[in-house]
Amino acid sequence: MSRGTFLVVGATSTIGRCVARRLAAEGCGLCLTGRDPEELAAVAADIAVRCGRPPLAVPLEARDFGSYPALMDACGAIPGGLAGAVITWGMPEDPLARTDPAATAQVVEVNLTAPALLLEWLADRLGPGSCLAVLSSVAGDRGRADTRLYGAAKAGLNVFLAGLRAHCDRRGIRVLTVKLGRVDTRLSFGLAGAFLAISPESAAKAVVRSLRRGRGTVYIPGWWRWIMLALRSLPEGLFRRLPR
Ligand SMILES: NC(=O)c1ccc[n+]([C@@H]2O[C@H](COP(=O)([O-])OP(=O)(O)OC[C@H]3O[C@@H](n4cnc5c(N)ncnc54)[C@H](OP(=O)(O)O)[C@@H]3O)[C@@H](O)[C@H]2O)c1
């Protein structure tokens, strides 16, 4: 992987800040975004202290689509341009707000609409040899009762990424769909299956490894590929009866 400069979108996320730290430790330059300017400044300051190179920090709310061009301008001013980007935006659904149109729209916007729009902007600007990695989820591989909306949005994101991969292939830009299993973060807090969780640091290590040499769809940890292959092959009636 070229050392270059990487954009980490959602660098205040548990996994995003670990990815940013790891990239900085490997000598890469960083442009970080986060919706909370103070939290973002704290993440940037922590990285500057650890690595001696202050990252560029650009506050960005995912649903403020009109602010994307300003981020593109900031990235365009980076000497040498971007070597790649990692998008970590995501939010779970609130089981108590299933009939609330605004809450439903927000889950779809943060998990699907916003990444899709930003990736279109980025794909137009990155050059050959660069990489776009997007954190998706095994929840998008099969519909489950407790994550039905989140899973549907991630499934849509996966289809979008497959199409973007086809679009970017001939321009030498790698597009990675990173399907994470359970990671021990605030997002997965309280969900079933905690015994399968890996640490955010382990997840970040695998994400950065994929940035270097990953292709297509990457499962983290890798054994989720085989679990999901088995689960996808089950008839729906049988899948529904599995313990949560
Ligand atoms: N943890 C897991 O088990 C797991 C499993 C599969 C996939 N994933 C995926 O991994 C990614 C990172 O998740 P995580 O576990 O690290 O959880 P997290 O810490 O809650 O990260 C979610 C990120 O999305 C950002 N975000 C949410 N709504 C936003 C908005 N409207 N505008 C801007 N940013 C917004 C959050 O910003 P703030 O920092 O400001 O809150 C945060 O940076 C997500 O895409 C998630 O779907 C996680």
Minimal-distance CA residue to ligand 1 atom 10: 135
Minimal-distance CA residue to ligand 1 atom 24: 89
- The rounded Cα 64 to chain-centroid distance in angstroms is 18
Cis amide bond preceding 55, omega within 30: no
Its domain, for residue 220, covers: 5-240
What is the pLDDT tens value at each position of the chain, 244 positions in all? 558 999 999 999 999 999 999 999 999 999 999 999 999 999 999 999 998 889 999 999 999 999 999 999 999 999 999 999 999 999 999 999 999 999 999 999 999 999 999 999 999 999 999 999 999 999 999 999 999 999 999 999 999 999 999 999 999 999 999 999 999 999 988 777 778 899 999 999 999 999 999 999 999 999 999 999 999 999 999 999 887 7
Q: Count of domains in the chain?
A: 1
Overall pTM surpassing 0.85 (yes/no): yes
Ligand 1 touching residue 158 (CB < 6 A): no
150 is an active site residue: yes
**CATH number, domain containing residue 186:** 3.40.50.720
Task: State the Cα–Cα distance between residues 30 and 55, nearest whole angstrom.
Answer: 5
From the candidates 150, 160, 219, 224, which is the catalytic residue? 150
Burial of residue 199, with CB atoms counted within 10 A of its CB: 0-12 exposed, 13-18 middle, 19 or more buried = middle
Task: State the Cα–Cα distance between residues 166 and 147, nearest whole angstrom.
Answer: 28
